[in-house]
Structure 1
């Protein structure tokens, strides 16, 4: 599990890397992170300044192994689809072709 409590985040590379490694992620509902993580689908989104919410999110994944497994699996699928090096290269090729 990756717990990423940053409240200002431009992209969230470590989050994407954890998702690619099929780890469930808990991230702040701030910055660009909600664009990467879909709550209870590919990770858990938590208010960045409510400590109790962070603890509850960790406990939820520890107690609910089925949810943790689902989030990890779907997170890996989303990260591979949207943030892979192949996708990055394809998008650049498309950009240059359209210039």
Structure 2
């Protein structure tokens, strides 16, 4: 049976944990493990996060082109030089990707 966040939600394709990758953020090894496991490149993914320091900076360092920053107000605004699209909450994600 596919993994589901809760009833009525589309199944996840894959779930990766820091324990599987044997790496914890902000180390890049966890994201590299994910990309290697999926067989894709940084330009093939959309990175969505709400942490500038622990997620967005690492995604930028990995050359992930497509980034969404969920500005939940628990961190200072991210530096625009890191090339991301800002949304106020996860509900803005469908509009960002044209759905």
TM interval, short-chain normalised? 0.3 to 0.5
Higher relative contact order (CA 8 A, sep 6+): 1
TM-score, normalization by structure 1? 0.40
Greater helix fraction, Structure 1 or Structure 2 = 1
